[in-house]
Amino acid sequence: MILTVTLNPAVDHTLEVDNLPEPAEVARTDTARVDPGGKGINVSKYLVELDAETIATGVVGDFLGRFVRDSLGDDGITNDFVDIAGRTRLNTTILTDEAEYKINHDGPTVDSSAIDDLLDIIARYDPDTVVVGGSLPPGVGPDSIDRIARAGDWQTVVDVGGEVLHDLDASYALCKPNREELAAATGIAVDSRAACYDAVERLRQSGYERVLASLGVDGAIMATPNECLHAAALDADIVDTVGAGDSMLAGVLSALNRGATDEEALRAGVAVASRVVSVPGTDVPPFDDITRAIDRVSVSRR
């Protein structure tokens, strides 16, 4: 079973307008949605659609926190969160015909007692894999993620900022940076595929058994103890990139959980992400025929 931890969940508010308004003008839209969000939560949402067993946990508070709990429950996603006094954050994405704009809250302050409660929840479910994803709220540092990794026999996967990846001390089964996070974690300017290969391998040697780097239109690289793989991106009608990296991680983990090889898992991750970018927000598209997309993913070795 794959348990996901979102230390700084959000309610994702996504809306579409033709153009941003001028100062003092009002833009109106009838195309808007709200979804429970945060990297770990998103991974669980995609895992459910991929028929992988998952539980979502983390830290939530106030009426937006209740929305996260209730929405996940309504969608059939098992969840067990720690309640705090602060308010879960609201993240807004504005889509226009020409661009995508994001405004994210920092999130509520979380103290060490909430992390203690979270560790109790994780231990209660005894998962095979724990995925820690997303930004860290005020009051929480990389040491809290290290505590989670060291607290049990589970494999720990992280999808966090590059600076946090650099500062983690425990051993991890896999991390999933994007291009910017890869540069921040390694100090390497990743402006070419060769540089990305070097950065991925350097990061892997710093305490990560596998590194999965999502590179947008340049596809993805996965470094393992035995090889370094590159998967080309599939052609897709891109509507919204929110959740693309989370869905890639879910595709890879669901495949590995079924006993797939690293190459098969990388193909699955890229194929799943290509579906997700074609829908707005963190809406989950159907993956019933994902095998056809997986077969079209081209993988090469360095």
**Exposed, middle or buried by CB within 10 Å (0-12, 13-18, 19+), for 28?**
exposed
The pLDDT assigned to 100 comes to 86
Q: What is the pLDDT of residue 119?
A: 98
Question: What's the pLDDT at 239?
Answer: 64
Q: How confident is the model at residue 112, as a pLDDT?
A: 93
Region of 23 (left: φ > 0; alpha: ψ -120 to 50; beta: rest) is: beta
| Cα torsion 154, 160, 162, 164: sign | negative
Per-residue pLDDT of the chain (302 residues; tens, 9 = 90+): 999 999 999 998 989 998 888 898 888 888 888 989 899 999 999 999 999 999 999 999 999 999 999 999 999 999 999 999 999 999 998 989 888 898 999 999 999 999 999 999 999 999 999 999 999 999 999 999 999 999 999 999 999 999 999 999 999 999 999 999 999 999 999 998 899 999 999 999 999 999 999 998 899 999 999 999 999 988 766 666 667 889 999 999 999 999 999 999 999 999 999 887 777 656 687 787 888 889 889 999 98
Sheet holding 155-159, edge to edge: 82-84, 54-61, 2-6, 129-133, 155-159, 172-175, 208-214, 220-223, 228-231, 299-301
- H/E element, 83: strand 82-84
* Single pTM value for the model: 0.91
Evaluate whether 174 touches 265 at the Cβ level (below 8 Å). Answer: no
DSSP label of 279: S
* Candidate list 146, 240, 246, 262, residue with the active-site label: 246
Per-residue model confidence (pLDDT) at position 178: 95
pLDDT computed for residue 222 by the predictor: 97
Q: Is 167 a catalytic residue?
A: no
pLDDT at 174: 98
